Amino acid sequence: MRILELNEDTKNNILENLLKRNPNSYGEFEGRVNAIIEDIKANRDKAVFDYTARFDGFNLNKDNIVVTKEEIEEAYREIDPKLVEIIRKSLVNINNYHQKQKRNSWFDTTPDGTILGQKITPLSRAGVYVPGGKAAYPSSVLMNVMPAKIAGVEEIIMCTPPGKDGKIYCGTLVAANEAGVDVIYKVGGAQAIAAMAYGTESIPKVDKIVGPGNIYVALAKKAVYGQVGIDSIAGPSEIMVLADESANPRFVAADLLSQAEHDELASAILVTTSKEIATAVNDEITKFLNELSRKEIMEKSIENYGYILIAKNMDEAIDVVNEIASEHLELVTKDPFQTMTKIKNAGAIFLGEYSSEPLGDYFAGPNHVLPTNGTAKFFSPLEVDAFVKKSSIISYSREALAEIHEDIEAFAEAEGLTAHANSIKVRFE
C-alpha cells in the first residue's frame, strides 16, 4: 500500500480519487438503465421476462416467477444446518438492536384545547433487492428485511436474479424465510428495480426499495427515486482504521483486507500517528495477500484505493477521518471511547482491537447497510425509521384559535395570500 505523509494536498487528492467510485460518476450506463425502465413501464411482465432470458439465461414466465414453498423447503435441505443456526442467532441480535429503534406516535395537549402530535405509520409494502451469483449475501437479506419487519410493514417482497436453471442460492432463500419475507420473485438487475417501482402484472408496486446491487441496480434506484422511496445509492465498500502506536499491526492489516476483498473498487485506508505501525501494517498486508483466496481483487483494490496515511498528531488524524467520512471506521487507540467522542462522520464505528468490521457485517446487531462515498456526513445506517412515515397532527378548539387568529391572518396577508387569511377570518365573522 502507498504510505504517505498526511497534509492538505494528500487529503484532497485522496478525496478526489475516492469520489471517482461514486455511482453518479458512471453516466455512460444511465442510458441503458433508463431504456430498461421505460421498457418495463410500457411492457411490464413481458419486458421482465425478456430481460431475464437475456441477462440470466432463464426462461421466466408468470407461472415460475414466484419462489414456491417447495423451493424454500429444498433450500433447507441443501444448506448446511450449521449456517441455519448461525442465521437464527444473528437474527436474534439484529432484532434486539432494531427493536430499540421503534418509536410511537405522540400527542401533546394544552388546557385551551390545542392538540399537537405525530402519527407514525408503517409503509404498506417494501421491496428488498438481493444480488445473485457470487454476490449472494444472506447477511444482507437479514439486515434489509428485519428493520422493515420490526417497523410493521404490511408486506415485504424480495427480488433476486435466478441462475440459468431458475434456482436461487439456498442461503438467500433460507435467510429470507427466517426473516419473514412474504413473496420472493426471480427477477434481478435494473428490471427488478423498475418492476417494484412501477408494478407489473406479476410484481406489485412497492412504497420503498432497499438493498445493494451492481451499478445498474444503483442507477435504477436513483432513476426511480421520487416514484418510490429508496434507502440510498450505495457505492463500493470502504473501511478506515484510525490507529496509534498501541495497535496490533497484524489485526489492522487483516481488517483492511476484509473490505478490500469485496471488489476492485473497495477502499481501505489506515490513518496512524506511528511510522512504525504504518510500516508494520504494510508488511503484514503483503504476507496476508499470499495466504488469502481473493488475492487479485484485493491487490487491485489497495493499488487503486488503498492508503496508509501518517499524521503528525491525533488531532490531524481525526480531522481527515471526519473529512473522508468512511462507511466503516475502526478506532484502535489506547482509549477508543475517548477517541470516539471526537468522531463526527462515520457509518459505523468499531471500538477496540476485538471489534473488527466483520463483527458488524454478520452478528453484532447494528445494521450493515451504511452510507458510503462520504455520505456519512448527512446519511445514517438503514434503520426502522426508514420503513415508517410520519404525519403531523394538529387540532385547535375555537377558543385556542381565537387567541391567535389575527396573527395568522396578518402573516398570510403579508405574504399576499388573502385566501389563506380568509380561511381563518371566516370562522370569526
What's the rounded Cα separation, in Å, for the pair 78 and 147?
Answer: 27
- 3-class DSSP state for residue 137? coil
Query: Residue 204's Cα: distance from chain center in Å?
Result: 22
DSSP 313-327: SHHHHHHHHHHH--S
Cell numbers 401533546 correspond to: 108
Q: Is residue 30 annotated as part of the catalytic site, yes or no?
A: no
Report phi then psi at 393, rounded to 5. Answer: -115, 130
CB 307 within 8 A of CB 269: yes
Single out the catalytic residue among 238, 327, 330, 409.
Answer: 327
What's the rounded Cα separation, in Å, for the pair 375 and 93?
Answer: 26
Report phi then psi at 35, rounded to 5. Answer: -65, -40
Report phi then psi at 299, rounded to 5. Answer: -65, -45
CA-based diameter of the chain, in Å?
85
Give me the torsion for CA of 237, 240, 241, 242, rounded to 10°: -160
Residues 6+ positions from 70 with CB-CB distance below 8 Å: none
CB 175 within 8 A of CB 93: no
Q: At CA 317, angle to CA 313 and CA 320, rounded to 5?
A: 145
Partners of 109 in the beta sheet? 115
Distances (CA, A) of 163 to 57, 74, 243, 266: 7, 15, 43, 26
| Helix (H), strand (E) counts: the chain | 17, 14
Q: Is residue 405 annotated as part of the catalytic site, yes or no?
A: no
Strands 155-159 and 388-395: unpaired
Q: Which residues are catalytic?
A: 327-328
